[in-house]
A and B are shown apart, each in its own frame.
Chain A
Amino acid sequence: MSEPGATAPLLPADPLVAEALAGIKAEFGGSDWLCVADIEPLSGQDDLIKALWAFSRLYGLPARLHLVGATPDGAYLGALRDFVEDLGLVGAVQLVGPVSAEIAAAYFAAADVYVTASVADTEGTRRAVRARVPVVNLDGSDTAAGVVLTVAQPSLVAATIARLLTDTAFAAAARNRASRGAQLRVGPPE
């Protein structure tokens, strides 16, 4: 990745969306996970949903996954909706769709962790780094930044995010590495 930690100024966040997201967090607690990428098979949003389900099952903590991005593949979007319903995650997974830059900025400001399963998602990762949001990349490629999981194993993603959310030193180190374009690789247990 080139210049993942570029210091361009942050866009102003849409105040209404920011307020709504803050209100939900205040009422229900828990963490907000964000992914900003086209919602299509190559982006692997299904892997993020599996990870959220594992997190909920293993840690019993509330969490919301916001999937922001264009929806060029209606069939994949429909499959995600059915999958979310079948896993009982309606309400926890928000298929937000395409939004303006200001609304996206509100999501970045509210996010506790940025998750992505796509190596092509350089822009979302770059914006997360700028917003000082820890990045967890499920893609496992050598070019990804942040905490990079060598396999998209739901329990591994869940455990990594649980640690990021509760261990301030780990989160800070993950942010620092990502801002330098460096990786923290986490492998699967045997």
Chain B
Amino acid sequence: MSATLEPASDSDEDAYLARVLSEIEAEVRAKRASGELPARVERELDELFLEFSPVAGRAGGLHDALRMVDAATFIDPVVPVGSAKSGGAVVKKGLRSLSLWYVGYITHQVSQLATAVSRALHILDEQVTDLRRQLDAQRVPPSLVVEADWANGPDAWWVEEGVRTLAAARGRVLHTAAGDGWLVRRLTAEGVSAYGVDPRPERIERAEFDGTDLRDEDVVAHLRAVESAALDGIILSGVVDGMTAGERLALLDLVVDRLSPGGTLVVHSLSRAGWESDQAPVAADLCGGHPLRLATWSFLLGEQGFDVRAQPGPEGLDYLVVGVLGDTVTASR
């Protein structure tokens, strides 16, 4: 950014300001997408301050806030009369005596109102606490990256097909969950402009020194920050397996929007049989959802306008789905 000449007229200024404001918004979008300041980090800033905040603090929450309300409920009509000025205290005391009946009448009513509000808040607090207890008991665990050594690595059966499918991509290609970047490096070696996203920082850190473009981000948060039609390819491996139906559909909506016309989606997932087998990773038992059947993916992607081809793994423990987005769908979004 650099200094700019001032516009000559009001209409010039309006046009100039509209351009500047859109440039600022575009710059923020680019910085978030590039990973310089992901949306997740901005949310963490808020959470960090809440840790220090006197209200909703470290272990507090509504209880702490209610204590502050309780402490402020009583309004004292007897104002202090101290004064640094000579005779000031006498004057103030006289004024207080003259107005106490009036101020006392008002503060009594305000205190009554505050007490009633405080009581209502305590009842709400009890109900919210009870609801939270019930919700915790039925909590759906967040989906985890489900990664098996035999299915998510450079020697897995589906990798050649995935790379071949995307080798001709001219724009950016995203792989998630990217792990230490094994597939991103492979795609890059084929001349593909690939980068990776993974929500597990410890996996990214291992790959930080070889220059591979990897970002420590949740896939949904990352895709939200990406512009519409900005990606030529998306590879989802170890991501959709354990998602709940709602999470999966929300992700699919984002994928459809972020892929360019003719863009390619590659999905690798464990099958139901693989999910139930002893070869499945521990994460499979800890997720709220379970893998879809191959036919269901074909149906879902077909509904979204993808031209789909599906391939089960050699032992039936996993599968690969490749979808190419049609131009008509993307044109109408």
Min C-beta distance of B64 to chain A, whole Å = 10
Min C-beta distance of A79 to chain B, whole Å = 4
Min C-beta distance of B66 to chain A, whole Å = 15
| B36 touches which of A46, A57, A153 (Cβ 8 Å) | A57
A184 contacts across to B, CB distance below 8 A? 17, 21
Output the residue of B23, B28, B29, B48 with the most chain A CB within 10 A. Answer: B28
B49 contacts across to A, CB distance below 8 A? 46, 49-50, 79, 83
A41 contacts across to B, CB distance below 8 A? 53, 55
Tell me if B102 is interfacial: C-beta within 8 Å of chain A.
no
Min C-beta distance of A96 to chain B, whole Å = 20
B24 contacts across to A, CB distance below 8 A? 156, 159-160, 163, 186
Chain A residue with Cβ nearest B55: A41
Interface positions, chain A 52-111, Cβ under 8 Å from B, are 53-54, 57-58, 73, 75-76, 78-80, 82-83, 86-87
Chain B residue with Cβ nearest A185: B21
Tell me if A181 is interfacial: C-beta within 8 Å of chain B.
no
Interface of A is mostly: helix
B54 contacts across to A, CB distance below 8 A? 73, 75-76, 78-79
A86 contacts across to B, CB distance below 8 A? 48, 52
Tell me if A31 is interfacial: C-beta within 8 Å of chain B.
no
Tell me if B1 is interfacial: C-beta within 8 Å of chain A.
yes
Min C-beta distance of B175 to chain A, whole Å = 23
Query: Chain A: how many interface residues by the 8 Å CB criterion?
Result: 40
Min C-beta distance of B287 to chain A, whole Å = 29
Contact between A155 and B28, CB atoms less than 8 A apart = yes
Chain B residue with Cβ nearest A86: B48
Encode A175-190 as 1/0 by CB contact (under 8 A) with B: 0000000001111111
Chain A residue with Cβ nearest B3: A168
| B1 touches which of A73, A156, A162 (Cβ 8 Å) | A162
A58 to B13, CA, bound (A): 28
Some 14 contacts from A to B, beta carbons below 8 A apart, are A50-B49, A79-B54, A153-B42, A155-B28, A163-B24, A169-B3, A169-B6, A172-B6, A173-B13, A185-B21, A188-B28, A189-B25, A189-B26, A189-B28
Given contacts A79-B53, A167-B1, A169-B16, 4 further A-B contacts (CB under 8 A): A58-B31, A76-B53, A160-B24, A184-B17
